[in-house]
Amino acid sequence: MAKAVFTTKVNPTYDDDPMFRYHFPRTYLNQAQRALGDWIAYYEPRRSSGDEGSRGGRQSYFATAKVAAIRPDPTTPDHFYAYVADFLEFDEAVPFKAGSHYFEAALRRVDGMTNKGAFGRAVRPLPDHEFDAILRAGFAPVLAPVRPDFIVPGFADEQDAFERPIIERVTKRPFRDAAFAAAVKTAYMDTCAMTGLRLINGGGRAEVQAAHIRPVASHGPDTVRNGLALSGTIHWMFDRGLISVGEDYSILTADRLIPQNAQAVLGLARTLRLPLQREWQPHPQFLKHHRENIFKG
C-alpha cells in the first residue's frame, strides 16, 4: 500500500464524484492499485474543466479519503473507478506550495520552479511525511484551535499525539465531527441557514450547530455539501423531519406536526441562505435524500 494524490477538476473530465468515486484511465491503474487500502489526498488544479483555457480551480489539496475498491468501468473500455470511503474535507484548502516550499517535493525542479511534467500526472505517489504535512495544514483550525467551538474534547491531552501518524487521529469520530463543524460554520459564517440568526456567546463560541443533511448513520459524508449551519432548535427539527429543503432551496415545513406558536417563534425564511462559494453549497442528492427519507411533510 502507498498513499497517493488524486487530481480532480471543478468540472471533471471523467466521471468523478470525490465523496464516493474517482474515475481514471488505465494509464494510472498501477499507481491507483498501490493506493488500495490506503489514503489519498484530493487535489484541485487550476484548470476547472477539460478546456485548455479554463481557469478557476484552487490549485490546492482539499480533502482526504481511503481507497476501498478499484473496479473496471463497465461502459468505457480501459477506464476504472476507485471507490473511496471515509471522505473528509479539509477545513482549509492547502495550496500546492507555500512560498518556496512544495508540499510534494516531486513537483519542484532543481532550479526551484514547478515541474509541470510531474504536475501533469493525475495520480501521483505521495510519501507518508508529505501526506501528514498536507493534513496538518488542512486541519490546522482543529489541530491548533483558535476558537473554543473547534476544540475536540480530550484530543490535546494525548501524550503521543504528535508521534503517531496524523491519519490515526483525524479518522476518529470526535475529530471528524469537529472538522465537519468547523468547515460548515466557516462556510455559513456562523449564521443559521434558515433563520439568519448569528449568535456568538461571551466565550467566542458560535451558537450555530453543524447539521448533516444525509445522516452519518445513512452513509452521509463529512463534507460541507452535506451540511447546514442551523441554530439548536432548528437543527433538532431538521433531524426529526419537521423541516426540509426543496430542490429550489425553498424551506419546507411539516405544518401539521409543528404547533402554531412554534412556527411564529421560529421565524423561518422562505429560502435557504447559501454559502457564497458554489463548492460549499448543499448537494442536491443529499437534500433529496432528506426530503424522501426523513421529512414528514
88, 117, 138 - which closes a domain: 138
Does residue 10 register a pLDDT over 80?
Answer: yes
Return the CATH number at 97.
Answer: 3.10.590
For residue 201, count other CB atoms closer than 10 A to its CB: 10
Q: What is the DSSP string of 113-177?
A: SB-HHHHT-SEEE--HHHHHHHHHHHTHHHHS-SSGGGPPTTGGG-TTTTTS-THHHHTSHHHHH
| Whole-number Å distance between alpha carbons of 224 and 152 | 18
Confidence of residue 279 (pLDDT cuts 50, 70, 90): confident
List the single range of 67-71, 160-164, 176-180 with lowest mean pLDDT: 160-164
Distance CA 24, CA 78 (A): 9
Residue range 192-199: average pLDDT? 89
Q: Is residue 70 part of a domain?
A: yes
Cβ-proximal residues to 146 (8 Å cutoff; 6+ apart), any chain: none
- 162 domain residue, yes or no: no
Indicate yes or no: pTM above 0.75: yes
Residue 44 domain flag = yes
Residues above pLDDT 70, as percent of the chain: 90
Vertex 64: Cα angle to 84 and 293 (nearest 5)? 55
Note whether 258 and 247 are within 8 A (CB): no
**Domains of the chain: total:** 2
Instruction: Judge if 102 and 183 occupy the same domain.
Output: no
Domain boundary among 111, 138, 165: 138
CA–CA separation, 12 and 49 (whole Å)? 6
Residues 133 and 205 in one domain: no
157 part of a folded domain: no
- The answer to whether residues 180 and 114 belong to one domain is no
Residues 187 and 268 placed together within one structural domain of the fold: yes
Taking Cα atoms as reference points, which of 143, 160, 131 lies closest to residue 41?
Answer: 131
As a 3-state breakdown, the chain gives helix, strand, coil percent values, each rounded to 5, of 30, 25, 45
User: Quick one: 150 exposed, middle or buried, by C-beta within 10 A (0-12, 13-18, 19+)?
Assistant: buried
Residue 148 falls inside a structural domain: no
Judge whether 147 lies within some domain: no
Torsion of CA 55, 137, 213, 174, to 10 degrees: 170
Final residue in a domain of this structure, among 138, 164, 186 = 138
Residue 2 neighbours by CB under 8 Å, 6+ apart: 34, 35, 38, 125, 126
Same domain, 29 and 134: yes
Q: Are residue 8 and residue 129 in the same domain, yes or no? A: yes
Distances (CA, A) of 65 to 89, 170, 268: 9, 11, 36
Contact present, 37 and 167 (Cβ < 8 Å): no
Within 8 A by CB and 6+ apart from 36, the residues are 1, 67, 69, 70, 82
Domain extent for 252: 176-293
Same domain flag for 183 and 71: no
Q: pLDDT class for 35, splitting at 50, 70, 90?
A: very high
Same domain, 39 and 131: yes
Most confident of 31-35, 183-187, 232-236: 31-35
Q: What is the pLDDT of residues 53-70, one digit of tens each?
A: 667 789 999 999 999 999
Question: pLDDT for 212-246, tens place per residue?
Answer: 999 999 999 999 999 999 999 899 999 999 999 99
- C-alpha closest to that of 126 among 28, 19, 40: 40
Residue 191, Cβ neighbours under 10 Å: how many? Answer: 20
Question: Would you say residue 54 lies in a domain?
Answer: yes
Confidence (pLDDT) at 153:
67
Q: Is 167 a domain residue?
A: no
Same domain, 118 and 36: yes
Whether residues 53 and 104 fall in one domain:
yes
- Whether 128 and 20 map to the same domain: the answer is yes
Same domain, 127 and 182: no
